[in-house]
Amino acid sequence: MNENPTFAPATGVGSMPGTDAREAAKTVTGSFEDFPFLPELPARGPGADMIGRTTGMLVELYARVEPSGWRIGDRPGRDTRRARSWLGEDLDALEEFTQGYEGQLKVQAVGPWTLAAALELRNGEAALSDAGACRDLAASLAEGLRLHLEEVRRRVPGAQLVLQLDEPSLIAVLRGQVKSASGYRTHRAVDRQVVESTLRDVVGVHGDGPVVVHSCAPDVPFALLRRAGAAAISFDFSLLTERDDDAIGEAVEGGTRLFAGVVPGTDGPLSDPAGSVMGVRTLWRRLGLSPGLLAEAVTLTPSCGLAGASPEYARRALAHCVRAARSLADNPE
């Protein structure tokens, strides 16, 4: 793991509206000249959604769509082929718009615990209900991510790859809030040390490259994610409370980058760029941190993915992140 990698000031989270891979890649690379990302287009349907897309990356594990969701199966079927085909299409588009590119480039996949909470075993229960299934799933994911990163390196050889693991269900897993198939009970909370060591194993597949863990749920476990090796933690800034202050202060002082989601992910009026980062400046003052640290410690993003936004708003939101980052750097006080 790089101790304290330097990140560009703004990027996106992952998902984009629409179904056109070339249009999405063009928008993302045009918006973020120094930190584009591989767009995800869930509007295309099953296999383009975050769970389906990541199951398409798994090695020697396959999944298919059932009425209740994604279920582990014995062999690659139509759903796996579709997920892999769309990922290939997205990579083709990204490669086209990153010729000669040499900056940071982010790719996203669902992390092991959100995957275990979402994927069903043959009996219809979440993989989360079976410790052995969780281990197998994490190992398959780790190998799949290793191959995916190799493929992206081959296509965009000059890029410094950043891996983002999406873990929106992590808090529910830690608290025993993931519902069973019947909906009448919940799966037992997973031991924090098991959660941490599994995450550390998956983070480790990127070797010396930086890994961001993204969670747009309240009460992000900053300390646990740092111990698991995350170089950066991505979150919805509007969900922070003063309860998070100590963990955030420790993260910043320990060199962990904050990917602060300050721009709404769905259509609505955007404030001026300085207004979007007012909360970040307020937090900094409350923590007693040096304003000079702000640009070094914070990358600005939308609050979550932009799949639910209109294409026009998504373009404005990405451009707004860049302008807000500039405002933060020019006037950190």
**Residue 7: inside a domain, yes or no?**
no
Q: What percent of the chain has pLDDT over 70?
A: 99
**Residue 4: inside a domain, yes or no?**
no
Note the pLDDT tens digit of each residue in 78-136.
999 999 999 999 999 999 999 999 999 999 999 999 999 999 999 999 999 999 999 99
pLDDT recorded at residue 1: 44
The domain that contains 102 carries what CATH number? Answer: 3.20.20.210
**Residue 268: inside a domain, yes or no?**
yes
pLDDT score of 149 more than 60: yes
Residue with tokens 């199966």: 73
**Residue 163: inside a domain, yes or no?**
yes
Structural domain of 169: 21-330
Q: Compute the average pLDDT of residues 36-52.
A: 97
Q: Compute the average pLDDT of residues 301-310.
A: 97
pTM of the full structure = 0.96
**Residue 165: inside a domain, yes or no?**
yes
Burial readout 166-201 (b: 16 or more C-beta within 10 A, e: otherwise) = bbbbbbbbbeeebeeeeeeeebeebeeeebbebbeb
**Residue 265: inside a domain, yes or no?**
yes
**Residue 285: inside a domain, yes or no?**
yes
**Residue 148: inside a domain, yes or no?**
yes
Q: Compute the average pLDDT of residues 225-253.
A: 96
pLDDT band per the 50, 70, 90 thresholds, residue 200: very high
* Tally of structural domains, the chain: 1
At residue 5's C-alpha, the angle toward residues 237 and 137, to 5°, is 75
pLDDT recorded at residue 3: 54
- Per the structure block, which two tokens stand in for 268? 């609505």
pLDDT recorded at residue 74: 86
